Structure 1
Amino acid sequence: MKSKRLVFRDVEWWIITFVFLIIVLTNIVIAMSSYSYPMEKFFGIVVLPIILYIGFYVMHLIIIPKYLKDKNVTQLILYSLLTTAVMGGLSGACAAINDGDAESFFRFYFSVILLYVVYLVIANLLRKIFLPPVFKDFQLYNWMRLFMIFLFVTIFLIVSRLFVNEAILVILLTIIPGISFFVLYNYYLLYRNKLKGNIKTYRWFLWGLMTIIFLVFVIISAENNVPEIMLLGLGMIATLIFIVFPISNIVFGKYEDYIGKIDVLSLQVNQSSANLSFLRSQINPHFLFNALNTLYGAALMENAEKTSDGIQKLGDMMRFMLHENQMDKIPLTREVDYLRNYLDLQMLRFKNESNLNVEIKISDQICEGSIAPMLLIPFVENAFKHGISTKSKSWIKINLRCLQGSVHLDVVNSIHPKKQTEDPRDESGIGLENVKSRLAHFYPQKHNLTIVANDTEHFVHLSVQLS
């Protein structure tokens, strides 16, 4: 499944908000913990970062989005210069109150501005280089942008030594990235393997990580001749096993449950829409008039035997669509019966077409098991809908096989140019995307769908493991 593009304007906003919040809170704690801390210093380490944060907000979430909407370069330049001047004046006043050196402040301020401009330029280049259609999905682009955000935040923290001390650097560049690494390690290598039942793999990754951490602290302890460092390593291992991993597992479980509920609701909505669409496509005036006209012609040519048989098949199809199509699973025999009825009616309709060759092979063996309804018929329906032309040679080949615990469908049909008057919205009753989503929901890792098409032929292979 293709990864989605992250909304990086929001990601950047939340990361910068988090960074400035840590900076301000840490500096407040440091200032309040020292009774002799001068009040003037408070402006330099607390008010100054707040002013810079407001400037970032104005530029990143007001001025730039307005430019992207209006494409007015003049306004972008004027508002950017005005914001830079106002923020520079306010932050310069804070630095002056803090008895800061003017040259050092201007060097710091313009370094921050230059850093922000360079970030925007590189972000724009990454969009042009790594976004589709150059690459098939957004995974590489997302990781490149996330790495770039971390790199530029790190440079910003190093440049901003006016209000960033060693404690903030340790928190933002060591502790938080470390915890983030272990949480990601837990999700991708521990939690997901355990969820899938790969207990052996889960244990290898868990105790392998613990062993590496312990050995690293043993080596550091031996090199510095400080045995207490090993206790620090054991404390870190205990923190991961009893605090970080269990808490993150709870979050992961809530997240998976939330996503699962969304998927179920989306599937139910899609299923309801598909049912209505299928009913519209199958029991619409066009289909009914064709079927009734065929039955009427058959009744004129012979006694009512074929007519009554066709009416019975049509009634069985309507009952199936109105009742069994609403269920999650039905006996496979009922799905096959519906398919047979559909094919019989279509053959009544097209039996006099001299340009059409139809080959149908349906397994005579009893198809055991249950299947989600309407997984087979869309591909057959598409073949009759798009594979028949009254002017050129056409063919449809259908092969349905029921094996032990699985069902296999192959459909091959000719392809003809679409009519200019054909409505592009007039697609299959259920639709390929809906069938794919239902297969992914009901038969994850238990189905194979292959679709190949060229200029003259369309091929579909579907295999579903029922047990």
Structure 2
Amino acid sequence: MKQKPFSFRQIEWWFITIIFLAIVLSNILSVNIDYLTRGNDLRMNRYIANIFLPLILYGAFYFVHMKIIPQYLLDRKKSKLIIYSLLVFFVSLALSMPFYFGANYGDHPFMPFYFSAVAIYLSYLLLVYIFKRLILDHSPKDYSFYNIIRLITLYLFTMLFLLKMQKYYWDLLLVVYMIVLPAILAVSIYNFLLVYQYEKSGRNGEARAYYWLLPALVAIIFIVIGIGGRSLEPLIAGAICILLMMLVVLPLSNLLFRKYDDFLGQISTLSLQVDQGAANLDFLRSQINPHFLFNALNTLYGTALQETAERTGEGIQKLGDMMRFMLHENHQDTIPVEREREYLLNYVDLQLLRLQDQENIDITFLPGETPCSGMIAPMLLVPFVENAFKHGISFRKKSWIKISLRCLEGSVHLDVNNSIHRKDADDPEYKASGIGLENVRQRLKLLYGDRNELVVRENEMEFFVHLSIKLK
């Protein structure tokens, strides 16, 4: 709760879904069928309206809250947000009218219940936006206050919605929402802070005292109400509440608390394993002293130039640039696209140095003249080129590799086309590989989702890859 804000879109969806499900079910079950069939048509019309009007409202909420707004947060296209929102508004309004007027809930062309629901929803979105700007823009270290404020806001606005819609559902639902749920929440918080935590820390005596104090307090409250009203009904209601609390609420809340502790324990174990893995990686990196390697490469580069071995010097220089990239940038979440492009250029240049005297090998590389802008996850482009040189080169057969890299505003595009020469099982290159293509495919799916397009085709003669990535 302290580390990050809750995923409120999912919380809101579940919360509203449960509320509307309760409304629809209560409206279905709260009326006797004989009562409907023996009455006039208005009873049946209202019965049907009380089922379909909430469903239409819920459908409108779902499309706006779970589809249109998330899409807007991705592409930031206000025109789409406005058009689709208005479309949902007018369609749901038109669908609601026959049920509303058929049930004789009113004759106003602009149905008050519908516009009240829309106003409540828009007010909630506006208040949430204000909270985000006031709290999240300052990147707080503790998100507890923000999370609590959002949960309270969600509860209050839902209660406001139920109060405005009270005419269209069973009254008991409002009683449950306004009294029963807060009471269950209060008992659960009491149990967590004063019973479960003390029991967990080994202070069993205090835990038992607070455990029995709770039903005693509830009993006193209902006894006072019964005496004041001179009635036995509060005493009976109090006894039922105490039984439900002791037999249902407290055991279930304890079960949830234990599950939550187990979940935190698993997270702690996984975090420890990740930390150990990172420590091992840092240890392995420390075994390769980068300063020593770069100094050695610089020495070799200088020696090659003194001996007029220009190709050797050029290869050493490019290898040094690649090693610097692998040691300092490859472990970052994102890097400038231009750095990934430079690594790709160095890799291809090294391969050209190795293969340029081979007459049966044709290599075409179009790196693009426009500098690349934006950020990208590292090592997403090179594996496809590496794969082309691994499987597309033969010193005995005609071979070709064609590589095209294009950087546009907000996107990068790579095309690789190469001949295929299958390696024998005893070939040293058969099992050698860099980052596997399947690994890259999974990374693309996780990091870019539907903002990437990967097309892979092959036949007996050649292999083709097209990759497009929309950058953030």
Q: 1:201 to 1:105 in 2, by over 3 A?
A: farther
- Paired residue for 1:270? 275
Q: 1:426 to 1:154 in 2, by over 3 A?
A: closer
Q: 1:33 to 1:268 in 2, by over 3 A?
A: farther
* Aligned mates of 2:211, 2:85 — CA distance in 1: 50
* Aligned mates of 1:179, 1:119 — CA distance in 2: 25
- Paired residue for 2:222? 217
Q: RCO (CA 8 Å, sep 6+): is it higher in 1 or 2?
A: 1
Q: 1:246 to 1:51 in 2, by over 3 A?
A: same
2:56 aligned with 1:84, yes or no? no
The residue identity in structure 1 corresponding to 2:27 is N
- Paired residue for 2:149? 144
In the TM superposition, structure 1's runs of 4+ consecutive aligned residues that sit over 6 Å from their partners are 424-427
The residue identity in structure 2 corresponding to 1:70 is D
What is the root-mean-square deviation in Å for CA atoms of aligned residues? 2.8
User: What is the correspondence of 1:105-116 to structure 2 with a 5 Å cutoff?
Assistant: 106-116=111-121
Q: 1:228 to 1:104 in 2, by over 3 A?
A: farther
Q: 2:288 aligns with which of 264, 284, 287?
A: 284
Q: 1:55 to 1:236 in 2, by over 3 A?
A: same
- Paired residue for 1:10? 10
Q: 1:69 to 1:28 in 2, by over 3 A?
A: same
Contact 1:45 1:163 in 2 (8 A): yes
C-alpha distance after superposition, 1:137-194 (max 9, x if no partner): 2111111111111111011001113422311111222222322322232223322221
TM-score normalized by the length of structure 1: 0.58
The residue identity in structure 2 corresponding to 1:3 is Q
- Paired residue for 2:244? 239
TM superposition shift of 1:34: 5.2
- Paired residue for 2:23? 23
TM superposition shift of 1:208: 3.0
- Paired residue for 1:252? 257
The residue identity in structure 2 corresponding to 1:18 is I
- Paired residue for 1:154? 159
TM superposition shift of 1:20: 0.3
C-alpha distance after superposition, 1:206-232 (max 9, x if no partner): 233223212111110111001342232
The residue identity in structure 1 corresponding to 2:20 is F
Gaps of 5+ in 2: 38-42, 294-326, 333-472
- Paired residue for 2:188? 183
Aligned pair count? 295
- Paired residue for 2:210? 205
Deviates more, 1:203-212 or 1:20-29: 203-212
TM superposition shift of 1:74: 1.9
Q: 1:70 to 1:279 in 2, by over 3 A?
A: closer
Contact 2:3 2:141 in 1 (8 A): no
Between the two proteins, what is the percent identity of the paired residues? 34
Deviates more, 1:204-213 or 1:38-47: 204-213
* Aligned mates of 1:189, 1:3 — CA distance in 2: 24
Gaps of 5+ in 1: 290-421, 428-467
TM superposition shift of 1:21: 0.7
C-alpha distance after superposition, 1:224-265 (max 9, x if no partner): 001342232233222212221112212322332233223213
* Aligned mates of 1:201, 1:104 — CA distance in 2: 62
